[in-house]
Copies of this chain bind each other. A is one copy, B any other.
Amino acid sequence: MAATKKLGKQTLALTNPPIIVGTSSVVGPKEGQGPLGKNFDLVLSDSLNGEKTWEKAERKMLRICCQKAIEEAGLTQENIDFMMAGDLLNQLISANFTARDLGIPFIGLYGACSTMFEGLALGSMIIDGGYANHILAAAASHYDTAERQYRFPTEMGIQRPLTAQWTVTGAGGVVLADSGRGLAVTHVTIGKVIDLGINDPNDMGSAMAPAAADTMIRHFIDTGRKPSDYDLIITGDLASVGRALTEQLVKQAGYDISKNYTDCGILIFDPSQDTHAGGSGCGCSAVVLTGYLLKEMKAGKFKRILGIGTGALLSTTSSLQGETIPGIGHAVVIEAYPLNTQ
C-alpha cells in the first residue's frame, strides 16, 4: 500500500497548497444590515433580485457571485477547469443552472450547509494533485426558498421557536489556483456523519454540534495541533445553541477552544435582528468566509484559521418518517503562503 498524504485518519496535508486568488460575497438586504454588512462585495436591495421567484433570485445571486470571484482572480470562465458547487434546494437547481450558464465543467456537491467547505476541501485536493490549474468553489442559500422548501412559505407568517436559525440569503465563491502568493488551503479534514439523536428540525445547531466537534477533535489528533495553534476556530452555522454545545463536547475530549472559537451564524446577524439563534444555510459560512474572514486574514488580523463547514443532513421526508438528524463537518486550514515555517 502506497504512502498517502493523509495525517492520521481523516486529515490531508497538502504539499502544494492551493492559493485563494479570487473571492466574492453577495448577500440579501437583511445580511447587509447585519454586523458584517459593510464587508460584503454586493448587498442586494431586494431579495427577489429582479426576478419573479425566490428560486430564480437565488440562482442569479449565485451566478453574479461566481462571475465576480472569477473576475477578481483576473480570469475568465474559460480559465476555470472545474466548478464545484451546491446549494440547499432539491436537486441543487441553483448550482446546476449556474453551471449551465457559466459553461464550466461541473461537479455537483451536496453537504447541506457544509457545501462551501466540502468544495474547498475537494477542490484543494484536485489542485494539489495536479488535476487542475483553477477551481471555482461556491455555495448559496436564500431565506425564502429554504423556508418554503423545508418549513412553511414565508407568506404564512408561522411563528418560529427561539432555537430556530435564520437561513442566510447569500452566495460565496472562491477561486483556487495552483500557483501564486497569498492565502492558501494547507490542510483538509473530511468529516463523518454523526447523529446523536436530535430530532427537532427547529434546533439544527444542536443536531450539527456533535459532527462539528468530532471533526475538530479528529483534526487536532491527526495533526498533533492544539486549539492555540490557530488564531481563530470557526464553525459554519451552529449559531448560539450549537456553539455552546460544541465547545462543551470538544472540552470533554481535552481541548479548550473557549478563547478563540466562534461561529459564522453568530457573526452574521445582530441579536436585534430577531433571527433567534443566528444564521444558517450554505450561504452563511460561504459569505462569512469570503466577505469577512479572508479579508481580515489579508489585513493581517488572523494568520491561521481552522474553519469547519457544518451541515444538517435531514430532509422533510426523513423527519416525517421519524428519523433523527445526522450532521457533518468538513474542515480546512487557511493560512498565509509561502508559509513561515514548514
Contact = CB atoms under 8 A, between A and B. Distances in A.
A240 to B, nearest CB: 24
A260 interface: no
A6 interface: yes
Interface stretch (A129-137, A265-273, A334-342): A129-137
Contacts of A237: none
Contacts of A93: 313-315, 317-318, 323
A104 interface: yes
Interface stretch (A105-113, A163-171, A241-249): A105-113
Interface in A75-132: 81-82, 86, 89-93, 96-97, 99-100, 103-112, 118, 122, 125-126, 128-132
Contacts of A131: 4-6, 12, 125, 129
A174 to B, nearest CB: 18
Interface string A178-191: 11000000000011
A253 interface: no
Given A132-B4, A317-B93, A106 B55 contact: no
A193 interface: yes
A129 B125 contact: yes
Contact of A6 (B81, B92, B125, B313): B81
Interface in A289-342: 313-318, 321, 323, 326, 328
A191 B106 contact: yes
Contact of A99 (B126, B179, B192): B192
A53 interface: yes
A10 interface: yes
A110 B112 contact: no
A164 to B, nearest CB: 18
A111 B108 contact: yes
A209 interface: no
A195 interface: yes
B313 A92 contact: yes
A312 to B, nearest CB: 9
Given A125-B126, A126-B125, A195 B89 contact: no
29 contacts: A1-B133, A2-B133, A2-B179, A4-B131, A4-B178, A6-B131, A10-B105, A12-B131, A82-B190, A86-B110, A91-B315, A93-B318, A93-B323, A96-B193, A97-B193, A97-B318, A97-B323, A100-B193, A100-B326, A103-B193, A106-B191, A106-B193, A106-B328, A107-B118, A125-B126, A125-B131, A126-B129, A129-B129, A129-B131
Interface of A: 1-6, 9-10, 12, 16, 53, 55-56, 81-82, 86, 89-93, 96-97, 99-100, 103-112, 118, 122, 125-126, 128-133, 149, 178-179, 190-195, 313-318, 321, 323, 326, 328
